[in-house]
Structure 1
Amino acid sequence: MTASNPNTAAPARTQVGVPRDELVRWLNEYLDTDAFSDVSLNGLQIEGKDRVTRVAASVDSSLRSIQAAADAGADLLLTHHGLFWGKPLAVTGPHGRRIKAALDAGLSLYASHLPLDYHREVGNNAMMAKALGLEDVVDFGEYGGKKLGLAGTLPRELDLQDFADRIQKLTGEICLVHSGSHPFVHRIGISSGEGAGLVPEAARMGLDTLLTGEPAHKYFHDAFEYGVNAIFAGHYETEVFGVRALAAKLEEEFGLPWQFIHQPTGL
């Protein structure tokens, strides 16, 4: 299933495309890729065609995502979860088929993990904070020496269930809610993906609610014992925002049309 940007008009430059290496340099600089110590190999992971005329974006670098991007005529696929994670992998089995599908299509693959969680303009957390209208936004969510997330104040206090319903409308998925004894939501911390362990930090900052992706058994009791509400909106669903915003930024900067490859995992 795919969802397209309705604005398909593009400057004449896109008739011959934009040099791939120019886009990669711009992305590396814009995302400050080298500033992050990350298990993900951030940046260009697969080198495809020399020029890019169309972009696709996807949360995951699955075979389905790669094939869908190729079928859509994309020359560059932006993903949050790439194919290389801290150790060499044999180019065999599913891993080999993913790489082969991209190479056969001339499709470049660019991955941005922690840099895209962090980014204060198009990052996952920044986009959620913007969608919620957070005010007095500050850094939050210690991970790997950086505060990847954001915390802020809602314009008005909301009932916990009303807030959860609002998140459900934002993501399209039902949330799991752990009530930490706060019946209302006003000051919240946001950390996309795996942020269940941030409840203690939220408590130290005086936040009443943590919004993150997926729960973890070892942190199950924290929300109840620290008195901080925890709302789990899905790892996938909290990480669709960054790749979509980044693709839209490429359209703004380079006039490249883009398409989002939507393949929810339910997790």
Structure 2
Amino acid sequence: MVPRQRLAQAFDELLQPGRFKDYGPNGLQVEGRATVQRIVSGVTASRALIESAIADGADTLVVHHGLFWRGQDGRVTGWMKQRLALLLAHDINLFAFHLPLDAHPELGNNAQLGRILGLRTTGRFGEQELGFLGERSEGGGFASPQALAGHVRQVLGREVTLVEGAAGPVERIGWCTGGAQGYFEDAIRAGVQAFLTGEISEPQAHYARECGVSFLACGHHATERYGAPALAGHVAAMLGLEHRFINVDNPA
């Protein structure tokens, strides 16, 4: 067991959340036990994840999507009351890291997505340098946008929405997990041939066709389920704590 403050310090040293302009608070969002022993990580602090953490005997939750966001209704009613009531009743700490977890060069969502897709990072782009640039680790690129989409589909185990740009091989790839469709124009300016993210909105289909850069929407949850366990697992091993990742599936 270690003091909660030591765990918080380890997270802050790794992620340096103070460097980021974010949409909500990073770090400890709900205070639980003063000492920690067992961490459960997950993507979102949903009621299903909290209930699973309770059943698993966790004293600490580490997630990418926490409970509090800029501009939300501040009343503790409905789903918010249910989630908070469970955390408080079982004295569970909730740590949430949003953009700092996306950005970390080794443990973050983008770095981990690149790793499992077999992509080698060559640079960064976009606001706060959240977007990653890279190429296929084994070289040679992908024979076509369809080949890239098929590879992503197989690795992530879900359907991929592909809007094709130019035909031909794809070697220069950009990616940013989650709801980063707004980064597409920055990725185009960075010279990519294809861009991967979680979601697509109406304008991106037109940009892809008009600029000749393929756009792949691979699922918000599917692209962001690797950073939280990588972070929590790393810190747990460093501090001698127990850790388990619980995946609460989400089709979005």
TM range (shorter): over 0.9
What does 1:92-171 correspond to in 2, within 5 Å? 92-135=77-120, 137-140=122-125, 142-143=126-127, 146-154=128-136, 155-159=139-143, 160-171=145-156
1:136 deviation in Å? 5.6
Partner in structure 2 of residue 7 of structure 1: none
1:205 deviation in Å? 2.0
Q: Match for 1:204 among 155, 165, 189?
A: 189
Partner in structure 2 of residue 180 of structure 1: 165
What does 1:72-91 correspond to in 2, within 5 Å? 72-87=56-71, 89-91=74-76
Partner in structure 2 of residue 33 of structure 1: 17
1:182 deviation in Å? 3.1
Amino acid at match of 1:257: E
1:245 deviation in Å? 0.6
Gaps of 5+ in 2: none
Which stretch of structure 1 is more off in the superposition, 165-174 or 23-32?
Answer: 165-174
Total equivalences in the alignment:
248
Q: Percent identity?
A: 36
Partner in structure 2 of residue 4 of structure 1: none
- Contact in 2 for aligned 1:199/1:226 (Cα 8 Å): no
Gaps of 5+ in 1: 1-16
Which secondary structure state, in structure 2, belongs to the residue aligned with residue 186 of structure 1? Answer: coil
- CA distance in 1 between partners of 2:183 and 2:199 (Å): 12
Which secondary structure state, in structure 2, belongs to the residue aligned with residue 67 of structure 1? Answer: helix
Q: Match for 2:49 among 61, 65, 82?
A: 65
- CA distance in 2 between partners of 1:136 and 1:191 (Å): 12
| Correspondence 1:46 to 2:35 | no
Which deviations, in whole Å up to 9, do the C-alpha atoms of 1:132-155 show, x marking residues without a partner? Answer: 333461012x23xx1102101222
1:64 deviation in Å? 1.0
- Which structure shows the higher strand fraction? 1
- Contact in 2 for aligned 1:70/1:105 (Cα 8 Å): yes
Aligned Cα root-mean-square deviation (Å): 1.4
Q: What TM-score do you get using the length of structure 1 for normalisation? A: 0.88
What does 1:218-229 correspond to in 2, within 5 Å? 218-229=203-214
